[in-house]
Amino acid sequence: MLKNRSLIDPMDFTTEELEDIFKLANLIIENPKEYKHICDGKILATLFYEPSTRTRLSFETAMMRLGGNVVGFSEPNSSSVSKGESLADTVRVVSNYADIIALRHPLEGAAKVASMYATVPVINAGDGGHQHPTQTLTDLLTIKCEKGSFNNLTIGLCGDLKFGRTVHSLIKAMSRYKNNKLVFISPKELKIPHYLIEDYLDKNNIEYRSEEDLENAIPDLDILYMTRIQKERFDDIDEYNRLKDVYVLNNEKLKNAKKDMVILHPLPRVNEIDPEVDSDNRAKYFKQAEYGMYVRMALMAKLLGVM
């Protein structure tokens, strides 16, 4: 049962529970009108202690498309934080006003604390560099809808694999499915942390390999998940200059990719995907944002217990 639960960590739900959410998301996608009143009278509070427009708008439109309403704030200035109130007290008060809370906070663990004091479900909409579980649900629903399955896939993860939290969460999530192969494409400065390999991949017998060159890696891939590489992550500026173009996806690099490969990106992108790729029908990163709204609709409907 997902009713009245909170979602703090991407691994909080079993694969069966996730399956329930994805099934509902699919039903909503197929027939949105059927679901446009299931949250009538419900209120979502979006408590964003740091700005994140895309995530906030996705949550808010998701609730509205189910018939519910939204209140909240989008920046810490307008919050009671400035008056010294604890997060625990804030969520207790807001629990009286709203039926569900989406919390974004710069501190790791803030969503966990909030869920301990709130009397309504709390969804972690990002806590520092820590967790962002609805991004992981978005990625999974996109894979499910675009590839039909969570199994037998070769998935390339490209860019900053050291610090990128969405990539870490996706690796953990995919480690629960079968017969997938992961290809880690990154400069050596930004390699995947060893604990992920040990605790998730080796433990579950997930095949993986590392590549430094995106073009070399592409031909095998069913999915290419791009992320941003930031200049400031490099110790050696020459190394950055040598590598910076290697990780920019463009039409040239896509020449040897499979015809049905799917290109994903959590957005916002800066320059790691050339805009010329946008018109390639393998580019699914804007569609991915749409799936993000649908998966949040399904998630909130489940946590509120209306479906």
Name, in order, each residue with C-beta under 8 angstroms of 27's C-beta and a sequence gap of 6 or more.
34, 35
Task: Reply yes or no on whether 104 is catalytic.
Answer: yes
Binding segment for its own copies (CB under 8 A), chosen from 70-78, 108-116, 200-208, 218-226, is 70-78
Question: CB of residue 97 vs its own copies: minimum separation in angstroms?
Answer: 4
Site for its own copies in 82-101 (CB under 8 A): 82-85, 88-90, 92-94, 96-98
Catalytic residue among 42, 46, 55, 130: 55
Radius of gyration of the chain (CA): 20
Site string for its own copies, 241-280 (x = CB under 8 A): --------------------------xxxx----x-----
Closest CA to 186 of 217, 213, 166, 225: 213
To its own copies, the closest distance from the beta carbon of 95 in angstroms equals 8
Residue 10, Cβ neighbours under 10 Å: how many? 24
65 is in an annotated binding site: no
Sign of CA dihedral 111, 29, 164, 279: negative
Q: In this chain, which of 3, 23, 54, 209 binds its own copies, going by CB under 8 A?
A: 54
The continuous run of DSSP H or E covering 300 comes out as helix 285-303
Does 55 carry a binding-site annotation?
Answer: yes
Residue of 132, 168, 253, 296 marked catalytic? 132
Choice between 59 and 234, CB closer to its own copies: 59
Tokens of 135: 């991004």
Which residues partner with 225 through β-bridges? Answer: 157, 264
Phi-psi category of residue 205: left, alpha or beta, with phi > 0 → left and psi -120 to 50 → alpha? left
CB 266 within 8 A of CB 10: no
- For its own copies, how many residues bind (rule: CB under 8 A)? 50
3-state secondary structure of 159: coil
Give catalytic residue positions.
54-55, 83, 104, 132
Q: Which residues contribute to the site for its own copies (CB under 8 A)?
A: 33, 36, 41, 43, 45, 48, 51-54, 57-58, 60-61, 64-65, 69-75, 77-80, 82-85, 88-90, 92-94, 96-98, 267-270, 275, 286-287, 289-290, 293
